[in-house]
Structure 1
């Protein structure tokens, strides 16, 4: 039987290379979304381009999603198991803490349906709430 991280990659039709396993393990350890820079620091001295390509592959295959939290640095978080190469099902609210600067997925807080006028069709949606997280509240 394959280790869990390797099996997760295989389940998404991703070849389980050493770098992909390292990046996935790092993402699995996170409580919040993580930037490319922070991933690089966690995997130093790994090559930035290889890490970026790995994250792009994860996104394309439905293993990770990108969060634009307004900081200018995209963050990465793992997707739900039902996401795939054709469609992401991560239609949940993201929360950015203005105190600790962490970005969190809130999978139980769904983005409400938005009624668009005729002639408009949505391709993707992102809802970001900014405030103070529960850890920083205390």
Structure 2
């Protein structure tokens, strides 16, 4: 497993430091997006600033993306393989469960094209659907 985690970093041209390996391994274990605070709790006594810098590096290299789910706390999730340091290809819907408070990536649910008036130039898009996830509904 450690070799696979290290190889993912190498493939994205990220130097595989101990902290980066730990953060990526944790992200790979998640079924939903995770906050910086939750990562910090799972990796205690790791330094919050180092974890944050690691996440920023991952995002810059196309390994993770940040999700603003409306809670005021950014969440982090792994990107699809085709994301890289030039462009993210993760324009998919995110789902926030009002019951368990988890945020899920829905990569098979693409954000629809939005027609903007002339002169408007989008730099990013984010679509959050809120409701009850399948786990909480059952």
> TM tier, shorter chain?
over 0.9
CA offsets 1:75-107 (integer angstroms, 9 cap, x no match): 000000000011000000000000000000000
Moved over 3 A (4+): none
Residue correspondences, number = 137
Give unpaired runs (5+ residues) of structure 1.
Answer: none
CA distance in structure 2 between the partners assigned to 1:76 and 1:11 by the alignment: 20
CA distance in structure 2 between the partners assigned to 1:62 and 1:10 by the alignment: 12
CA distance in structure 1 between the partners assigned to 2:118 and 2:70 by the alignment: 29
Task: Give the corresponding residue for 2:39.
Answer: 39
Which secondary structure does the structure 2 equivalent of 1:93 belong to?
strand
Normalized against structure 1, the TM-score is what? Answer: 0.98
CA distance in structure 1 between the partners assigned to 2:118 and 2:95 by the alignment: 31
CA distance in structure 2 between the partners assigned to 1:8 and 1:80 by the alignment: 12
Task: Give the corresponding residue for 2:132.
Answer: 132
CA distance in structure 2 between the partners assigned to 1:5 and 1:23 by the alignment: 10
CA distance in structure 2 between the partners assigned to 1:8 and 1:77 by the alignment: 15
Task: Give the corresponding residue for 2:78.
Answer: 78
Which secondary structure does the structure 1 equivalent of 2:24 belong to?
helix
**How do 1:1-138 residues align onto structure 2 when only pairs under 5 Å count?**
3-138=3-138
CA distance in structure 2 between the partners assigned to 1:118 and 1:91 by the alignment: 22
CA distance in structure 2 between the partners assigned to 1:121 and 1:72 by the alignment: 25
